[in-house]
Structure 1
Amino acid sequence: MNFCICIFILKSTKSEFTSLKDFIKKTSLAFVDLTNIHKEILKNIYEVIKYEERDSVVLFMAAALHNTSFLNKFVDNWDKGMYKTRGLLEIQGFEKYQTLSTLSTRYNYVENYEMLGAPVSFVIKDCYQYFLHVLKLQYTFENYCQKMGLGEYEKIKNRRDILRFKSIYDVLTDVY
């Protein structure tokens, strides 16, 4: 009888943060725009994503950093109306606020729409749940663009905002 023993070494699909300090250090060193004032928001994000899959962490963080101008802007004041663009994922429109409210275990964003603009723990958790719900386990940059309403990646990939977003994603792919 012949036996073959095969050993496979797989790269971990879990995020590889050893601690909150490690997460903040890796993220802050990658982007000079992040300062000490952002540590509390990063701490809140870390508490939500610390045990999640690496691909989802990279994509969620890239979206959060891009959409909020590196954690500085959580509401689009140019947008008018109750359900204007807010939060880490720039959620906009009644239907999306309604979906977020359905996923939330704590908050009704349709009735309390302004809360989405607050970078506090439970809002971040709800945004992450929304992110998981919309992407349906396909954590690729291309899928994010399509599912979050930015457009088909091949058609938008040369837009300046998409290039900037993609560069953040690429940096985090290397850092995390």
Structure 2
Amino acid sequence: MRDACRRSLTLSEESFDVLLKAAVHDPDPSFNRQFVEPALNAFGHRRVRTALLGYLRTGTDLERAGAARAWCWSALPLRMPVVRAENPGTTGRAEPHDGSAVVAEWNEAALREFVSNEHLDVRRCVLPGLSLRKEAYPSELHDLVNAAVAIARSHADEYIRHRVEHQVGD
């Protein structure tokens, strides 16, 4: 994939779902970048992020964890000008960073997922990208932020306990 992206690469509409599914199902949080980055360059930040948000909201626990692992790569700048969509008019042209509304939706969904989903891998994958500052959320979510911090601090998993302290201090 990496070699193909260095040359001129035109991605079909069907390749979008294939790339995102591969990114979500790849267990390596570094390796999945090779699927996210071409999708970003061909189809745009908003479309990639919206698809990852869909996995977080409705996927299996495996897919929810995978969407969280892939999310960090969805902020990459577009650096593959030779990778493009076959029909940019129908898929939307890949544009520089957009979609602050999608980011806000992701942040809320990730917060809710961390609090409500007890699956260990989901919590481990969601937590690093989760803002645990109340001011990052509307006031109606502040109690949920407190709940997330309390869950993480008292969690049986050492990584989660360590990670929350790294993120919030104290």
TM-score interval (norm. to shorter): under 0.3
- Relative to its length, the structure with more helix (as a share) is 2
Task: Look at both structures and tell me which one has the larger radius of gyration over its CA atoms.
Answer: 1
Q: TM-score, normalised by structure 1?
A: 0.23
TM-score by length of 2: 0.23
